[in-house]
Chain A
Amino acid sequence: MSCILTAEHVHKIKAARKVLKEFKYEPAKLEKGYANKSLYINISNNSIVSKDVTEKMKDVFIGGKGFGLWYLWNAVNPLTKWNDPENEIVISPGPIAGITQYPGAGKSLVVSISPTTGSVVDSNVGGHFGPFLKFSGWDALEIQGKADREVIIFIDGNKGTISIEEAPLESVDTHLIIEELTEMYAESDEDKRNISVVSSGTAAQNSYIGLLNFSFYDKRRKSPRVKQAGRGGIGTVFRDKKIKAIVVKFNGVKGDLNNPVDLKKIQELGIKLHKEIHDFDAIQTQKREVGTANLVEIMNDYDLLPVNNFKYGNHPETWKIDSKQIKKKVTQNMPDGCWYGCSMACAKAVDGFILKTGPYKGQKVLIDGPEYETVAAVGSNLGIFNLDHVLECNFYCDTYGVDTISLGTTTAFLMECYESNILNKEITGGLELTFGNKDAAMELLHQMSRGESFGKIAGLGVRKIKELLVKEYGAEPQFLNDIGMENKGMEYSQYISKESLAQQGGYAMTNKGPQHDEAWLIFMDMVNNQIPSFEDKAEALHYFPMFRTWFGLMGLCKLPWNDIEPANNRQTSEPAKVPEHVQNYVELFNSVTGKTINKQELIVQSERVYNFQRIFNIKMGFGQKVHDNPPYRSVGPVTVEEYLSRQDRYDQQMKELIGVAPDGKTIEEKIKITRKYREDQYEELRQTVYKRRGWTENGIPTLEHIRNLGIDFPEVLEVVNKHL
């Protein structure tokens, strides 16, 4: 880590702390993956309450994101805005979280009302906080209210104490505060690994796209590192509540703390997967070696890497930012995970990187990552093929508390607006926001941190910038809506979906917005052609979002599901589902909780929560057909240059699929014909998906479906009945 933390500095900030409220409790012993208690903290009046987790909650909402949605549902009303005191941040790890025998079991789910979408958002994050929270006796942490001064919440899971502390002198930027708090709350160097900090940063308080960092202590580097809950602006909510950090301390991690019913079975499942990873990772996805960054060159090869605001899918200079180059920068070069026992070990870090810009210019820092999404978002999608820029931007996004995906997609949109003469230097305060201009892109981020100039505008995110450009500068709304890569107010993650109808739905028919963690079907659809009919695509858009929702109920990472595959997976009837690993998850859940689900019931568990989240959106004024409309850039070519870049393909499709001869037509005419066809295809897909999901033509879950799922609570029916 970069900062030079002196004992004097730590003493000074410690001396300035003032305990505003202290609460003592008897840490619950976990039973079958649950503490059966959740922690409620209101920082408006400094109240701290221990709540019981009921059997019904566990049956219906399971844990993780399910618990978060249920608590938030009860906390807000349809008029609640993201910055109202009623809004909550709920962190919950899930019943499987914290096991150390099976890879990828250290996740937390964070739920809140989002500043960018105005509705409920969930974000999945690694680091040690979630398991430590559960081992401290809490299945979930709800934070409500708004503090009138800067505070830190500290949970000591061994002593059984919780305190809300005034924190006037601590830093806000993450790379500083995680060091300060790790030092302050640890009793020795050895004790530092027992600390995990949730923090954000200065740009989160000046933008709507703020993220939360969750720390874990790296013993080899002797430094805390971070993982991010990036999507939906929850870091902005965090800073609006005047929370500088949440700290949990727990000493005594062991493999059996969840008190599962069948530890031996969990060990067997874990050993089997560890062996697969050991034997096959090097010839499969190389997560242990390069993390997720290997996708950079793969996406480029398949024309799926976003370039210049998702106009194009590849670029000849991609090699400059691909995983081979990143590997040269990663300093540890050995498997590196974010939770104990994860042999998938996809975490990576760059040590000793010397910053070239910003307030920490000249300092040597540690950078966690970069992940594929970051490389694409702040690299190729901005037309920037410079790895040092990507690393610098990665560092500043993390420490300033900004989501790299939202920042990248927003900056790409601004760059296209600039090149289309919608923006100019006068409006941007002198920034020449052309594609490829790395200096302008970095300065925009620094301005966001300072809350000044055009960076403040950029921090609004794509949807609100579109509204502003129309209102203040008379921009043409349709063009902005076509090229502004957002849906429901959330910026798109980094895949080109134009040639995959299923993925267009996988992005726009999501609950929280276009994040690929619900469904990623591009290869099944565009490359493998395995789901050719509307019904096939709808089935995939039912199964995969439901299956992947399940990870968020449990506290699990998605990667060990299908970024490693058993040797015989190719011989199975549905290799895309990785059936053996699905069965592992069924057995893992049963072995922890003592319940007896099968793979069908696993999907039903998710379906309950998924449909509840859809209804939650409806409660907040969203969640209907109109909110599942994609921007046309995600469906087909908007501009002439974009059409020309794939003219052969589009002309051929016009002839073979649409039945229209392209000869003699202008590019503009061809764009129009292509658009009509593609939008009709999307509409037909949408109706097929709604039907498969048990929804009406307007995207509302039917009463029959709600009853079948057992979520027909009076308050749920009240919301739905208004729309049926």
Chain B
Amino acid sequence: MIKVNNRPVEWQEGMTIKKLINILKYSYPVLIVTINGEHIPREKYEAATVSDGDDVKIIHPIAGG
């Protein structure tokens, strides 16, 4: 189990940020991603591994419709 935005999400073997974003269907074009507080730039989403127990934040910087 990992935490995404302080909510529990099932962890999967081989999970990366890119895979996690796909699982969550987070299609918003601008995301702010951290793993255990460390910022992950967009170009590293595919390589950034998510380990079991990680604290992930995927913030959508949008406050206006």
A residues in contact (CB < 8 Å) with B: 283-286, 295, 297-298, 301-302, 372, 493, 495, 516, 520-524, 527-530, 532, 544, 548, 558, 561-563, 565, 569-570, 575-578
B7 contact set on A, CB distance < 8 A: 529
In the complex, are the beta carbons of A565 and B61 less than 8 A apart? Answer: yes
Give Cα A295–Cα B64 distance, bound, in whole angstroms: 11
> Residue B62 at the A interface, CB < 8 A?
yes
Query: Shortest beta-carbon distance, B17 to chain A, in Å?
Result: 15
Contact B65 A575 (CB under 8 A): no
Can you give 5 contacting A-B residue pairs, CB < 8 Å?
A: A285-B30, A286-B29, A493-B65, A565-B61, A569-B61
Contact (Cβ within 8 A) B25 A301: yes
Closest B residue to A528 by beta carbon equals B59
Q: Chain A residues near B26: list those with CB within 8 A.
A: 301, 527
Q: Report yes or no: A523 in contact with B63, Cβ–Cβ below 8 A.
A: yes
Instruction: Name the interface residues of B33-65: CB closer than 8 Å to any CB of A.
Output: 39, 58-65
Asked if A285 and B61 sit within 8 Å, CB to CB, the answer is: no
Distance (whole angstroms) from the CB of A518 to the closest CB of chain B: 10
**CB-based contact A522/B30 at 8 Å:** no
Query: Does A530 contact B59, Cβ atoms closer than 8 Å?
Result: yes
**Smallest CB–CB gap between A717 and chain B, Å?**
34
Main secondary structure of the interface of B (DSSP, over half): loop
Render B14-31 as a binary contact track against A, CB cut-off 8 A, 1 for contact: 000000000001111110
Interface flag for B12 (CB, 8 Å): no
A520 to B65, CA, bound (A): 6
B29 touches A523 (CB 8 A): no
Nearest opposing residue in chain B for A544, CB measure = B63
Complex contacts, A532 vs chain B, CB 8 Å: 6
Give B residues with C-beta under 8 Å from A: 5-7, 25-30, 32, 39, 58-65
CB nearest neighbor in A for B31: A570
Complex Cα distance, B28 from A362, in Å, reads 39
B40 to chain A, nearest CB (A): 11
When C-beta atoms are compared, the residue in chain B nearest to A303 turns out to be: B25
- Whether B29 and A285, one on each chain, are in contact in the complex, defined by CB atoms closer than 8 angstroms, is yes
A298 CA / B30 CA spacing, docked (Å): 12
* Pairwise interchain contact A302-B25, C-beta atoms closer than 8 A: yes
Contact check, A565 vs B30: say whether CB atoms are below 8 A apart: yes
Residues of A contacting B62 in the complex (Cβ-Cβ under 8 angstroms): 523-524, 562, 576
Partner of B65, one of A522, A528, A529, A530: A522
**Cβ contacts under 8 Å, B65 to chain A:** 295, 372, 493, 495, 516, 520, 522
Asked if A520 meets B64 with Cβ closer than 8 Å, knowing A283-B29, A528-B59, the reply is yes
User: Whole-angstrom distance from the CB of A649 to the nearest CB of chain B?
Assistant: 12
Q: Given the complex, which residues of A lie within 8 Å of B30, measured CB to CB?
A: 283-285, 565
When distances are taken between beta carbons in the complex, the residues of chain B under 8 Å from A563 are 64
Q: How far is the CB of A303 from chain B (nearest CB, A)?
A: 9
Contact A575 B59 (CB under 8 A): yes
Q: A426 to B32, alpha carbons, bound, how many Å?
A: 55
Q: Are A570 and B32 in contact (CB under 8 A)?
A: yes
State the CA gap A578–B28 with chains docked (Å): 17
Q: A308 CB to closest chain B CB, in angstroms?
A: 20
In the complex, which of the residues A297, A565, A570 has the most CB atoms of chain B within 10 Å of its own CB atom? A570
On chain B, the residues within 8 Å of A372 by CB distance are: 65
Complex CA distance for A221 and B60, rounded to whole angstroms: 37
Return A277 CB to nearest CB of chain B, in Å: 14
Closest residue of chain B to A294 (Cβ to Cβ) is: B29
Question: Which 8 A-B residue pairs are closest in the complex by CB-CB distance?
Answer: A520-B65, A576-B63, A529-B5, A570-B32, A575-B61, A301-B27, A523-B60, A516-B65
Q: Is the CB of A562 within 8 A of B63?
A: yes
A528 touches B60 (CB 8 A): yes
Q: How far is the CA of A286 from the CA of B63 in the complex (A)?
A: 17
Could you say which residues of chain B place their CB within 8 Å of the CB of A561?
64
A521 — nearest CB in chain B belongs to which residue? B63
Contact partner of B61 (CB less than 8 A), chosen from A495, A516, A576, is A576
Q: How far is the CB of B35 from chain A (nearest CB, A)?
A: 15
Residue of B nearest to A299 (CB): B65
| Residue pair B5, A527 in contact (C-beta under 8 Å) | yes
In the bound complex, residues from chain A placing their C-beta under 8 Å from that of B6 are 529, 532
Beta-carbon nearest neighbor of A572 in chain B = B61
- What would 19 more interface pairs be, CB under 8 Å, given A520-B64, A576-B61? A284-B29, A285-B29, A285-B30, A286-B29, A298-B28, A301-B26, A302-B27, A372-B65, A493-B65, A495-B65, A522-B65, A523-B60, A523-B63, A529-B5, A530-B5, A530-B59, A562-B62, A563-B64, A570-B32
